[in-house]
Chain A
Amino acid sequence: MTTLTQSQHLEMFDARGSLARAEHELNLFNSFGKAETEKSLRLDLLLEQDALDDSTEELEQLKIMYDRNNLADVTAQMVLNRAERNLQRQQISVELAQSEITKWVQLGMARAQADLDYDVTYAKLNIAYLEAEHTSSRVELSAEISDLKLFIAELRADSEDE
């Protein structure tokens, strides 16, 4: 009985810890996480846009430099082609960064909220389940002890009759 009680204490301690952590995560999300995730995604978008602007400006400068030098060579065209392809890739990166914000606002935020709510509910239900299971275990064990006591008493009575 003592062992059973101690193991139940441990399980409850663990379950309450899980609940506390889930509630803490939910609080953080509602206080900062929601807004900061969006802010961080908007910063990513700005960085991608800056990289696109930088590449566009540098390509323009490179064209000016090549034109001014006028050293006709396939290398110049090769470098310009690569820079153009880099711009196309960078444009896609900007679009992806924009799409990440939309996905977060429209889907990601709600999903994250639901996941955290689920974690809290799950932790609470787990505690309730454990409490019920512990009560049931104790009742079952008490019944078994009572049965054993009765059985022992019957054995004693039989032996005295003989």
Chain B
Amino acid sequence: MNSLVAMALLCCSAQSSELELAEQACDTAIERGNAFLYSRQTKNGGLSLNATPALHDVWANAEANRSWHIATTSIAAMAWMAQPQDDARDLRIARAIDYLCKSPLVKRPDDWDTDNTWAYVYSLCALTRAGNNAYIEKTHRTKMIRQRAQVIMQELYKYQSPMGGWAYYADETKAVTPNWATSFQTAVAVIGLLEAKQLGWSVDEHRLRVAIDTLIHCRLPDGSYTYSVEIIPRVDTGTGIDNVKGGLSRIQSCNYALYLAKQMGYKSPIGHEQIITGLQQLFANHHYLDIARGRPTPHEAYHYNSGYFYFFGHYYAGLLLEMLPKKEAQPFFSPYVNSVVKTQHGDGSMLDFFLDASGKEYGAAFGVAGLCHARNSLK
């Protein structure tokens, strides 16, 4: 009996020391990530706009490049706003938000290319987070933020596909409004719109409701979501993308959007149980994302995983951990921290896909933001 008690105590002690080590690693990675992101913030508040994109850079097109730049600046601002108040950081947040509010709206890069939507969805999310930021409120920026968010939402509505969601290419029709829509970009848009509504900002309720229904439509019986919004959604067999192994990151972003929707009174199938299942699926199949991370060609890994799925999915997994009760979040904390910290470079950056102008920056911003939210789950 005594030996059983001793074993149990030993296990508890091992678990708590593992948790402490993970917390320390998390704190260190956040600090190092912050240092890198600070070093990349320019005088105008934006992060590393590449004025001369390399020929081998993906989409060496000025407006597409500016879309990455605006989205990266937005994610970095969100990463900073997810951290405890700090005077120096507040100044950086304010500069980034000023830049997001004052820079010209990103235009559509090409007839087939609607990557400007990435700038819209992430700047909307950054502005809604800023709407809850004490320093931003104290410095009388709230009105400017709300006005800019309204402009962005109007632009975003113009790109909502008749299928109900958003995507970033329009090759299918080359129409003013694209027909193609994806689950994961729709999820980011839904999060931004829901957070705007929470702040009491004016949101087109019909469009928001349609987008939420579209996400529910994309949800498959195995808990994953189709990549595109399909007329008739179905689970892909074999090495397809529309299943758990090909949708590990989509599960997290879509679950977060639908969980938020449920919290705000919308009909949604996502509660704690589904969040936990989604996180279990992420860590049980994490090797698919590990294999894809760093590969140069989109969708070249198993189940069409791309390198850039990595931090996108981990960021939303961090947000989901924060939504769970401490006891339920705790078992995921160490594997989560490990999966992000192991990617950090010597300079504090993180990289999952080569983008000359913003690859390291968006990686670090997503990584730091995810770690911050995951850390909050222990409080």
Interface residues, chain A, CB within 8 Å of chain B?
58, 61-62, 65-66, 68-71, 73-76, 78-79, 82
Number of interface residues of B (CB under 8 A): 18
Q: Which residues of A contact B206 (CB under 8 A)?
A: 70
Partner of A65, one of B173, B175, B178, B231: B231
- Residue pairs across A and B with Cβ atoms less than 8 A apart, 18 shown, are A58-B231, A58-B232, A62-B231, A65-B162, A65-B163, A66-B163, A68-B213, A69-B210, A69-B213, A69-B214, A71-B160, A71-B162, A73-B177, A74-B176, A75-B179, A76-B179, A79-B162, A79-B173
- The distance from the CB of A109 to the nearest CB of chain B, in whole angstroms, is 40
Partner of B162, one of A58, A61, A73, A82: A73
Q: Which residues of A contact B163 (CB under 8 A)?
A: 65-66, 69
Q: Is the CB of A69 within 8 A of B164?
A: yes
Q: Is the CB of B161 within 8 A of A75?
A: yes
Whether A75 touches B175, Cβ cut-off 8 Å, given contacts A58-B232, A61-B232, A65-B231, is yes
Interface of A is mostly: helix
Q: Which residues of A contact B179 (CB under 8 A)?
A: 75-76, 78-79
Asked if B207 is an interface residue, CB under 8 A from chain A, the answer is: yes
- The distance from the CB of B154 to the nearest CB of chain A, in whole angstroms, is 14
Interface of B is mostly: loop
B177, closest chain A residue (CB)? A75
Q: Is the CB of B231 within 8 A of A61?
A: yes
Alpha-carbon distance A74/B173, docked complex (angstroms): 11
Whether A71 touches B164, Cβ cut-off 8 Å, given contacts A61-B231, A65-B231, is yes
- The distance from the CB of B197 to the nearest CB of chain A, in whole angstroms, is 18
Q: Which residues of A contact B164 (CB under 8 A)?
A: 65, 69, 71
- The distance from the CB of A70 to the nearest CB of chain B, in whole angstroms, is 7
Alpha-carbon distance A9/B179, docked complex (angstroms): 73
B178, closest chain A residue (CB)? A75
Q: Which residues of B contact A79 (CB under 8 A)?
A: 162, 173, 179
A67, closest chain B residue (CB)? B162
Alpha-carbon distance A75/B210, docked complex (angstroms): 17
List 9 other contacts, CB 8 Å, given A69-B162, A73-B177, A74-B175.
Answer: A65-B162, A66-B163, A68-B213, A69-B163, A69-B214, A71-B161, A71-B164, A71-B210, A75-B175
- The distance from the CB of B374 to the nearest CB of chain A, in whole angstroms, is 35
